[in-house]
Structure 1
Amino acid sequence: MTTLEARSPDLDALADTYDEQGFVLVKGLLTKEEAAEYRRRSHELLAGLKREDDPTWGSAAEAAMGQMTSLQHLHDAQFYDAAFTRLLTDPRFTDVAAAVLRTPNVQLHHTKMFVKPPENGSPFPPHQDHPFFPHENHKVAAAIFHFDDAPDAKGCVRIAPGSHREGPREHDPEGSYHLPDFPQDQLVPQEAEAGDVLFFTYLTVHSSGVNVSDEARTTWLVQFRDPEDTLIGDQHTHSLGQGLILAGTDPTGRAHTR
């Protein structure tokens, strides 16, 4: 089982699933109305800030078989709209985050908003998040909030169940860190509805397809960790608000972003 209802009283069962499979899709963590409001706010933010940079990976062209694709994004939405700040500390989210980390303490690493435009929204090739910000104990995870429906035609996230158990993998540094030889048949589409949240470890191999539908796909990625885990090196230390405690406390007392 890799799908659980939001606010499940058995968070231990959810954490067991996460440990075994490397991910869990929580249905209906947000209501449809809440998701629609966050979708509206997301698109208004992107339009108002007039972001023209495109974060599509260089290796995405290969995944899209050479066709031109595009992607809209925004780092640190919580610094532009208080609704996202509130969502970061919403117990519906932090209870699950704490459960999968198996600690009462949850610390923010960074956030990214992604909008895949209709018809040619950029894919992401198979990869782990680990190479971008490796930690000593690997207690780092992601949550993808779906603000609208994400069927496979919209380029939903694809997960390789159990792939986290092999630990860090060697990624190709050309263009972007990805796994060009990873078997595509091991990646399972995680179709989601508005309000669903997908949690997965930073060791889980994942990808996403091209949005070939006639509607945008809108998501918010939150990367979080156990504050007692330690970053290796100095990668990805620039995100605004990194180190913010979302639940519990920081037992280390470190007043920095590493």
Structure 2
Amino acid sequence: MMTTLSTTRPDLDALADTYDQQGYVLVKGLLSKEEAAEYRGRSHELIASLDRGDDPTWDAAADVAMGQATSLQHLHDAQFYDAAFTRLLTDPRFTSVAAAVLRTPNVQLHHSKMFIKPPENGSPFPPHQDHPFFPHTHHRVAAAIFHFDDAPEVKGCVRIAPGSHTAGPREHDPQGSFHLPDFPVDQLEPMEAEAGDVLFFTYLTVHSSGVNVSDEARTTWLVQFRDPADPPLTDQHNHSLGQGLILAGSDPTGRAGQA
């Protein structure tokens, strides 16, 4: 059964306990429907105005889509193009949950990325952990996916393998795509969400997403964040603008996000 928490009765300790046990928690209604609609509009305007013609679809996505061609639109670091996203990064509704799941008052930005899955053939993601892209010493790294419109299963919602984080880092495909081709798909549960919901999960949690076969786009904003006291093990993925920005609390190390 999907584990969720409503922000109408915020219990951050209970949320953190669920996150520790399951590797994720879906927070319902963190944003209002009106706010989500506003961010959806801004997202589509930004991507339309800044379209650089690149498509981040993984080669392995063809396996998930059973060979059919799919497409995906994305934008790194939306907060550098629209101040509304900068404000959202430090919104206490978000940072209070982020601090709770990390179990520290200090929350540091790693990177952000906007995704729009186009209707009818929006690209999927095969099962993977985020860990191999930017491994850290103590694994206090997490993601938050803001849903700016409804994400039912037919729109290719995120799928989570509950409890999969407890196995730690896994051996990924060595060819550079970092997916888990042999992971049992029946362990992945669809995280259907509504506009305004935010899905939090650790970077050790195995997750994927399906193809958007609906007649509407699926619009999300991914924010990767960490405990600033958790040192990165490599210099991978250190190119994102704004990496090291403190979203809540302070940086006790003085590294300012440097590897």
Q: Give yes or no for TM over 0.5.
A: yes
Query: What amino acid is the match of 1:184?
Result: V
Residue segments in structure 1 that go unaligned for 5+ positions in a row = none
- 1:40 aligns with 41
Q: CA offsets, 1:186-227, max 9 Å, x none?
A: 000000000000000000000000000000000000000000
1:187 aligns with 2:177: no
Asked if structure 2 preserves the Cα contact closer than 8 Å seen for 1:58 and 1:175, the reply is no
Query: What amino acid is the match of 2:168?
Result: G
Q: How many residues align?
A: 258
- The within-5 A match list for 1:145-156 is 145-156=146-157
- 2:31 aligns with 30
Query: What amino acid is the match of 1:215?
Result: E
- 2:220 aligns with 219
- 2:145 aligns with 144
Shift of 1:246: 0.0
Shift of 1:254: 1.5
Shift of 1:256: 4.3
Whole-angstrom distance in 2 between the partners of 1:12 and 1:21:
14
Q: Report percent identity of matched pairs.
A: 84
Whole-angstrom distance in 1 between the partners of 2:22 and 2:223:
20
SS at match of 1:111: strand
SS at match of 1:170: coil
- 1:16 aligns with 17
Query: What amino acid is the match of 2:108?
Result: Q
Asked if structure 1 preserves the Cα contact closer than 8 Å seen for 2:245 and 2:256, the reply is no
SS at match of 2:69: coil
Q: CA offsets, 1:9-62, max 9 Å, x none?
A: 320000000000000000000000000000000000011112310000011011
Asked if structure 2 preserves the Cα contact closer than 8 Å seen for 1:46 and 1:74, the reply is yes
Whole-angstrom distance in 2 between the partners of 1:140 and 1:130:
8
- 1:253 aligns with 254
- The within-5 A match list for 1:1-258 is 2-6=3-7, 8-174=9-175, 176-258=177-259
Shift of 1:233: 1.3
Query: What amino acid is the match of 2:25?
Result: V
Shift of 1:8: 3.5
SS at match of 2:34: helix
Asked if structure 2 preserves the Cα contact closer than 8 Å seen for 1:60 and 1:123, the reply is yes
Query: What amino acid is the match of 2:169?
Result: P
Shift of 1:175: 5.5
